Amino acid sequence: MSLPVAIRLLGRLILALLAVVGLAGLFLALVVVTDGARSGLAAWLTVLGAGIIAALWRGRGRTWPGRLWPFVPVVAAAALTASVCVPTVPTTRQYPPDLPFVATGHWSLSTGSRVAVYHYPPAADASRRPTPLVYLHGGPVRSISVLDHRFLRLLAGQGYDVYAYEHPGGGRSDLLPMEQYTISRSVRDLAAFIDRLDKGPADVLGFSAGAIVLTRALAIPDTAARVHRAIIAEPGPMDGPTALINGQQGRPSARGLAPAPTGGRATHVPRYAVALGLIQLGLLPPETGLITQAEGVNAFKAADLGSDTASAYCARDAGRIPTEDTAENLSFNAAASLRIQQTIKDSPSIVPGLSRSRTPAMLMIAECSSQTRQWQTSILAAGSAIERTQYMPGVGHRMWNGLDDNNERAAAVITAFLQGEPSPLPNYPTRTGISAFLRDHR
C-alpha cells in the first residue's frame, strides 16, 4: 500500500470515528433534553434519522459502493447507543427474599407508605427494657444490611424490644412515586411508625441517613413528643445550610487502601452507567424516563458502592473489612436516595426547632468518620437537649462492624444512655469544646 493511499485510509478512519463520537454525543445530549423519554428511544430515533440524512448527503454523487461507506459510522453509533435503550434487568420491582433469621412483616402507615418491618423481641433470659427501641438505618433508601441485623440481635439479647423498618423504596418496602421521596416524608414515616407501634414514646437509634431523619424529627415538637430518648449516630448534614459546609473529616479511613470491590456492577452496563451517571451529575432528574425506578433498584450491585464501603472503616482495618451484606439482601435505590439528599440541601435551617427540643439525646461520632465533622458538631451546637457526646475510638463511620469488640462497645454506650447510667466513655466533645475538638483534628 502506497503512502498516499494509507494516509487517505487513515483520514477516513479518523473521520468515521469522529462521526461515531459525534452521533453518540448528540444522543447523550438528546437524552438530557428529552429526559430520556421512552427509555431513550426518542433520542435514539432522532440520532438515527440525523445520521441517515447526513450519510445520504455525504454519499451523493458517488457510485453505489462508495455511497454505502458513510453509513458505516451511522450503523456503529446506532448499535452503540441502542445498548442504552435496552433493559438488561426486569423493569418491575424484584424484592429480596426473606432473611432466614428474622420474619419480614409489612405495615401500612398512615402516610401511605408500606414498609418492611423486622422485630427482635427481648431475649427470654435478659432483663426486659420497658421502652421499645426503633432503629433507623442508613442509606437512605436501601435495605438494612446483615451487619445491622446482627447488631440489632445483640441489643435484643440485652433486653431491648427492637423494631426496625426499611424506608419506602428500599429493601422489601414498597416503592413511592419519585416526587414523594423527601426528607419531610421520612420524618412523617417515623412518626407514623411509632404511632402504628402503639407502645407510647419509643427510644430511637438513628444511624447515618437515619440519624438525619431523627435529628429533624427532634426539631418538630409533635414528632419529638413520640421519641423517649434519641441516639444520633454518625449523622450527615441536617439541613440546607449544614449541607453547604465543606469541613474536615475524622482520622484517615480505608478509602483508597482497601482492595477494590469485586463482582458485577450496574455501572459496567451502558444503560445504567449512562442513567445513573447523568442522574448523579444532575443532568437527569431522579424520575427520568430513561429507566424506571424499579429497574434502577434491580440493577444496582454491591460493587457499585465503590469506595464508599471502605470509607466507613479506619485505615488500620483496610485489610480486614467485613462483608456487610449478602448479594441477595442488598437493595439500593440510588435515584430515590439522591432525591432525598437534594430535599435536605434545599431545606431551611432547623436550628431554631432543634434548639427548643427537650427530648434527651446522645450524639455518637467515630474516630475515623468519613462524615464532615462540622455536620456533626452543628447538631451538637444546636441541640440543647443533647446530654452527652460519645467519641468512639478505633472505628469508622460503620461503628458496629463485627470487628473485635466494636459491637459490644457500641451497645454498652447505647445501653448506658438509654438507662440513664454513667457512660463507659467520657462526654467528648462537649458543646463548649467544639472549637478545640475541630482544632485538634480529632
Task: Kindly state whether residues 161 and 19 are assigned to the same domain.
Answer: no
Provide mean pLDDT across the span 168-195.
Answer: 97
Task: Kindly state whether residues 114 and 77 are assigned to the same domain.
Answer: no
Query: Alpha-carbon distance 20 to 115, whole Å?
Result: 46
Q: How confident is the model at residue 178 (pLDDT cuts 50, 70, 90)?
A: very high
Q: Give the chain's domain count.
A: 2
Query: Alpha-carbon distance 16 to 13, whole Å?
Result: 5
φ, ψ of residue 117 to 5 degrees: the values are: -125, 140
As a three-state string, the secondary structure of 116-180 is: EEEEECCCCCCCCCCCCEEEECCCCCECCCHHHHHHHHHHHHCCCCEEEECCCCCCCCCCCCHHH
Q: Measuring CA to CA, how many Å separate 37 from each of 13, 46, 275, 288, 296?
A: 33, 12, 12, 8, 16
Task: Kindly state whether residues 202 and 140 are assigned to the same domain.
Answer: yes
Number of helices (H) and strands (E) in the chain: give both, helices first.
Answer: 16, 8
What's the confidence (pLDDT) of residue 262? 83
What's the confidence (pLDDT) of residue 8? 65
Task: Kindly state whether residues 65 and 125 are assigned to the same domain.
Answer: no
Of all residues in the chain, the percent with pLDDT exceeding 90 is 81
Is residue 295 one of the residues assigned to a domain? no
Q: What is the pLDDT of residues 16-63, one digit of tens each?
A: 788 889 899 999 999 999 999 999 999 999 999 998 998 888 777 676
Is residue 260 one of the residues assigned to a domain? no
- 7: pLDDT strictly greater than 80: no
Provide mean pLDDT across the span 64-76.
Answer: 80
| Structural domain that includes position 235 | 105-253+307-439
- 66: pLDDT strictly greater than 80: no
pTM over 0.85: yes
Is residue 237 one of the residues assigned to a domain? yes
Closest CA to 368 of 426, 312, 305: 312
Task: Kindly state whether residues 219 and 335 are assigned to the same domain.
Answer: yes
Task: Kindly state whether residues 407 and 331 are assigned to the same domain.
Answer: yes
Task: Kindly state whether residues 117 and 58 are assigned to the same domain.
Answer: no
Task: Kindly state whether residues 11 and 142 are assigned to the same domain.
Answer: no
Q: How confident is the model at residue 270 (pLDDT cuts 50, 70, 90)?
A: very high
Task: Kindly state whether residues 118 and 182 are assigned to the same domain.
Answer: yes
Closest CA to 305 of 346, 337, 271, 345: 337
- 419: pLDDT strictly greater than 60: yes
Is residue 98 one of the residues assigned to a domain? no
Is residue 376 one of the residues assigned to a domain? yes
Closest CA to 176 of 35, 343, 324: 343
- 134: pLDDT strictly greater than 90: yes
Least reliable range by pLDDT among 54-63, 163-172, 304-313: 54-63
Supply the mean pLDDT for the chain: 93
Task: Kindly state whether residues 321 and 367 are assigned to the same domain.
Answer: yes
Task: Kindly state whether residues 74 and 140 are assigned to the same domain.
Answer: no
Q: What is the pLDDT of residues 363-409, one digit of tens each?
A: 999 999 999 999 999 999 999 899 999 999 999 999 999 999 999 99
Is residue 147 one of the residues assigned to a domain? yes
Is residue 291 one of the residues assigned to a domain? no
Q: What is the CATH number of the domain that holds 435?
A: 3.40.50.1820
Residue with cell 438488561: 88
- 352: pLDDT strictly greater than 90: yes
The answer to whether the beta carbons of residues 101 and 300 sit under 8 Å apart is no
Q: Edge-to-edge, what's the strand order for the sheet holding 133-136?
A: 105-108, 114-120, 162-165, 133-136, 202-207, 227-233, 361-368, 386-396
- Of 67, 82, 97, the one marking the end of a domain is 82
Task: Kindly state whether residues 191 and 331 are assigned to the same domain.
Answer: yes
Q: What is the pLDDT of residues 330-343, one digit of tens each?
A: 999 999 999 999 99
